Amino acid sequence: MPPLNFWSIYQHGFARVAACTGHTVIADPHANAEAVLRHARRCDEEGVAVAVFAEMGLCGYSIEDLLLQDVLLDQVEEALQDVVTGSADLLPVLVVGAPLRHRNRIYNCAVLVHRGRVLGVVPKSYPRTTASSTSAVRSPTARTSAAVPSGSAGRRSPSAWTCCSRRRTSRRSCCTRRSARTCGCRCRPARRRPSRARRSSSTSPAARSPSAAPRTANSCAARRPAACLAAYVYAAAGLGESTTDLSWDGQAMIYENGALLAETERFPLGDEYAVADVDLDLLRQERQRMGTFDDNRRTHRARTADFRTVSFELAPPLTDLGLRRRLERFPFVPADAERLAQDCYEAYNIQVEGLQQRLAAIGGPKVVIGVSGGLDSTHALIVAARAMDRAGRPRSDILAWTLPGFATSDHTKDNAHALMRAIGVTAAELDITPTARLMLKEMNHPFASGERSTTSPSRTSKQACAPTTCSASPTSTTASSSAPATSPSWRSAGPRTASATR
């Protein structure tokens, strides 16, 4: 095993993928094969592991009955052989769309090619039946035979229905199954779809979908990887494709677990490709956490046991390729402002509802809360105020204390008092400095005798002198007596008082 290079994406569980689109020359497979290799060489220079091309990209998606012409189909097989030969010295696994003949039928296929070898051929499982679909190309209604033509003379490749591939790299955790499918987005007969459980158990973490369907692409590409915990690479047909009724937008996009990593503009004038680094370790770990994947494997073992593994050596560069994905400044909250606002709304109202229910369950006592003027105590005070509003109780039932100590500045203390006045709670101040000094003296702390210490007396004293926490939640609570009240007006608060602190 080579030494770990910290700057290598492939040694950190990432894989660089690309979705490629460009000008398709209708019914000219050799020209389209050269375009595929042009993209492939560019992807090779950037360290791409998988490059996906549009459905039927070797001949064009919109040629309709020309797909039945032997001359065209012969040229498709020759062009596919050109792609296989031209890939011999290139890194990426190429996923190329082509119509291929087998026995008495023509199949709409995705062909996986790597370093001069056809890894597998995957026919479209569920053909579209709309006017925009290519009616001349059929899909199997039952399992195909053990092999289908690959386009190279005398060579046969693993079957459409039972093929997946696995790349081997220098890190065992990066060994990831990969499958491909030609896709008609959501325009498939629902009665012919396999169950969600079956699709979830058989979809690989890195699914590639060359497709020519235009407008439903974004919604489908976002939903599918989120449902299957997968990466989704989408390449649409584009420039050069049209009929009397339709045209294609040539958009490419890459999703990971429902999140958009990269996309290109629609209706480009030339070659375009979207490139992103997919976190395979993340997807693998998410699937381990989602136990239903293994449940589905056991439930559908009769089907999944038929899948065969075709191994190949990717041998990616272990040098610094940079990182082609966005890193959020705040990774634990959404970057989208609208979604962030929705999450904040949910979290805030859950806390309010939980506190309101807990107070009602324990007899509706007043609430004691420590207010420092910082973020945490401010949020807790706002939640308590809203809970009182919802319960129809005055905010004066919130007994708010600020406890200045050694490190409390006038600015911080003024903020705490201004907050309490603005919300309208019953406010009081208790200087904990004398209590803290006595505590430190009883502890024989060096600070009590005037010595310098690495331990902050402010932090130690505040932790010891802060009121006991009362956690109000729908499921559990820890209640205790609050600090002794010194304000005479609070002595009539009642026998029970719920306390909280920052």
Mean pLDDT over each residue of the chain, to the nearest integer: 78
**pLDDT confidence band for 137 (50 / 70 / 90):** low
Residue 378 has pLDDT above 50, yes or no: yes
Q: Would you place residue 394 in the very low, low, confident or very high pLDDT band (cuts 50, 70, 90)? A: very high
Interval 22-58: pLDDT, tens? 999 999 999 999 999 999 999 999 999 999 999 999 9
CA dihedral (195, 196, 202, 207) positive or negative: positive
Q: Which residues contact 285 (CB under 8 A, 6 or more apart)?
A: none
Determine what percent of the chain is predicted with pLDDT higher than 70: 70
pTM: 0.70
What number is the average pLDDT over the span 184-213?
40
Q: How confident is the model at residue 199 (pLDDT cuts 50, 70, 90)?
A: very low
**Helix, strand, coil tally for the chain in percent (to 5):** 35, 25, 40
Residue 27 CB burial class (10 angstroms; 0-12, 13-18, ≥19): middle
Q: What pLDDT score was predicted for residue 133?
A: 53
pLDDT attached to residue 414: 93
Give the closest residue to 15 by CA, choosing from 184, 231, 224. Answer: 231
Give me the pLDDT at residue 168, please: 52
* Nearest one of 369, 368, 370 to 462, comparing CA atoms: 370
Residue 477 C-alpha from the chain's centroid: 35
pLDDT at 246: 80
Residue 174 is predicted with a pLDDT of: 36
Q: Which tens digit of pLDDT belongs to each residue from 406-423?
A: 888 899 999 999 999 999
In which element (H, E) is residue 234 found? strand 231-235
Active-site amino acid positions: 55, 124, 185
SS (H, E, C) 137-205: CECCCCCCCCEEECCCCCCEEECCCCEEEEEECCCHHHCCEEEECCECCCCCCHHHCCCHHHHHHHCCC
Query: What single letter denotes the amino acid at residue 113?
Result: V
The Cα 305–Cα 379 span in angstroms is: 54
Check whether 196 has a pLDDT greater than 50: no
Report whether 264 contacts 234 (CB < 8 A).
no
Task: Write the pLDDT tens digit of every residue in 64-117.
Answer: 888 899 999 999 999 999 999 999 999 999 999 999 999 889 999 999 999 999
Q: State the Cα–Cα distance between residues 384 and 366, nearest whole angstrom.
A: 10
pLDDT tens track for 173-182: 333 445 555 5
